[in-house]
Chain A
């Protein structure tokens, strides 16, 4: 019985600590008079039509930085973001003897608006580029290559981004599941992206 009471107390204590940690602090708007900077990363997947019929989920993670600017309204912040994405860590299925491997670096700048609170809805628009290198890789029984061995290209892109952030640790860490509709000029194979922004407040 005693053991049972101790156990119950521990559970309650743990729950209190957890609630405290997860408490919806006013996220990054605790100090609405100052700007804030956060850095982070985002695992992201895009449904890309790499085959005749059907698509695959292409993993394209991003590094990110957010700069929060207070507005005249206490709960609303403008968020200026910078992202640097990568694609090509996993390639579409191709025959082993001849492959066109695509590797991207994808910088972008975005501007968004968020409302601080227990959860943080965000809406943003972004522009950027895809710097892509396409490399022709061959092996036996492909014995020779005439002409291009690959090429590089830079493709403009723009996107709309919606997210719902959940602050942790007094707002120092925010997990932000997002959906994004993106258009890359000259590459319509994928439009929708899904991921999770994880950002840590620096100041």
Chain B
């Protein structure tokens, strides 16, 4: 390993020109997420000298799980929250790190280099943590490793009527290509999202959801939405996008112990805490401002409450992990069962392709879909988890989001 790193460094030395020689074992000053305090939902970061022990290719910031590109472009027809519903990232460049070496430690000479070194380190740590807590590595999730991660790419929404370059302020996941994007930084960020393991683990949560819910077969965008297969059109539903976000928040909790994935971002007005604040599904439109993310929060809170009801200990990863794995395993096959139902509302055409979402929340449209999802998920969970999930879903979604007429498992399991 050391030889590989040394060889990589030898190869980059002529290209760096002015740069000092990098040491054989790469130790770098990076921004590191330093943990989450559950008692008051606060988090901290540190700037530390870390050994990048997994690094294989310094020049390309490549390790066993992650390869980092600078820039590039995402061309997509639709982006829902932190998931690009189609498209792919491409045209990324080598990181072009600017650094100096002081006392054997790589010190970034500009913020982009500091952020890329920090993002690489945080992503590798996050994938290792996911494997330790949940037991999934990247191949287990149906993706090739290393995963391609694009640092501050351009994001272009290319719809039928126009192409628009937009500025995103978060990290995001591209399901079809199994890629991640770290959107361009902004002063909305307090701590850097690209080094925030709570956020990065949330994005990995989308990879997990993609594997277990969509079976790594994300929906296609086609010209005529009415021709979408039932499976695809359900996967594009607004409500499902919310559940995807909620599952990602809960997986972030399972891996990191954080009950607020955006605890480090007070400037982002989001209500993502699994503990603070209180709104159930009926109050989503009145008390929460983050559209389908709010449904996700109600879902994640439900899972958290079921976890506590099962005797889970929030501070222990050995308690969080098995519970989360049981919930994730229950996701398999849910989409096919939903697609086979004939009692769900039909697809509503919206303005753009690849967008099955409606405004939040159309009770006659979203609620039956949500309810069918919740009931099917609980129905696939082993006892006594099924009853705990049903109780939490009914308590948080109520009849407004989990109509009695779509409850089958949860009509009897409680």
Contacts and interface: CB of A to CB of B under 8 A. Distances in A.
A is bound by B: yes
A187 interface: yes
A100 B71 CA distance: 19
A94 interface: yes
Contacts of A153: 100, 109
Contacts of A155: 18
B114 interface: yes
Interface in B92-119: 96, 98, 100, 102-103, 105, 107-112, 114
A51 B183 CA distance: 10
Nearest to A185: B18
A68 B295 CA distance: 72
Given A151-B107, A185-B18, A96 B47 contact: no
Contacts of B112: 50-52
Contacts of B102: 147-148, 151
A102 B110 CA distance: 8
B292 interface: no
A53 to B, nearest CB: 3
A34 interface: no
Nearest to A150: B107
B49 A52 contact: no
B28 to A, nearest CB: 9
A89 B172 CA distance: 32
A148 B101 CA distance: 10
Given A100-B114, A153-B100, A146 B154 contact: no
Interface stretch (A16-24, A121-129, A134-142): A134-142
A144 interface: yes
B120 interface: no
Nearest to B43: A141
Nearest to A91: B111
B190 A148 contact: no
A98 interface: yes
Nearest to A139: B190
Contact of B152 (A53, A97, A136, A148): A53
B44 A50 contact: no
Interface of A: 50-54, 92-100, 102, 134, 136, 138, 140-148, 151, 153, 155, 185-189
16 contacts: A51-B152, A53-B154, A92-B111, A95-B187, A96-B189, A96-B190, A96-B267, A97-B189, A97-B264, A141-B190, A146-B46, A146-B47, A151-B100, A155-B18, A186-B17, A186-B18
Nearest to A186: B18
A43 to B, nearest CB: 24
B148 to A, nearest CB: 13
B45 A94 contact: no
Given A53-B72, A99-B111, A186-B19, A147 B47 contact: yes
B192 interface: yes
A94 B102 CA distance: 24
Interface in B170-202: 182, 184-187, 189-193
Contact of B70 (A52, A142, A151, A187): A52
B237 interface: no
B73 interface: yes
Contact of A134 (B47, B109, B151, B152): B109
Contacts of A50: 110-112
B111 A142 contact: no
Contacts of A51: 71, 112, 152, 184-185
B46 A143 contact: yes
B44 A93 contact: no
A95 B151 contact: no
A95 B185 contact: yes
A186 B20 CA distance: 10
A54 B93 CA distance: 12
A92 B102 CA distance: 25
Contacts of B38: none
Interface string B13-26: 00001110000000
Given A51-B152, A151-B107, A94 B184 contact: no
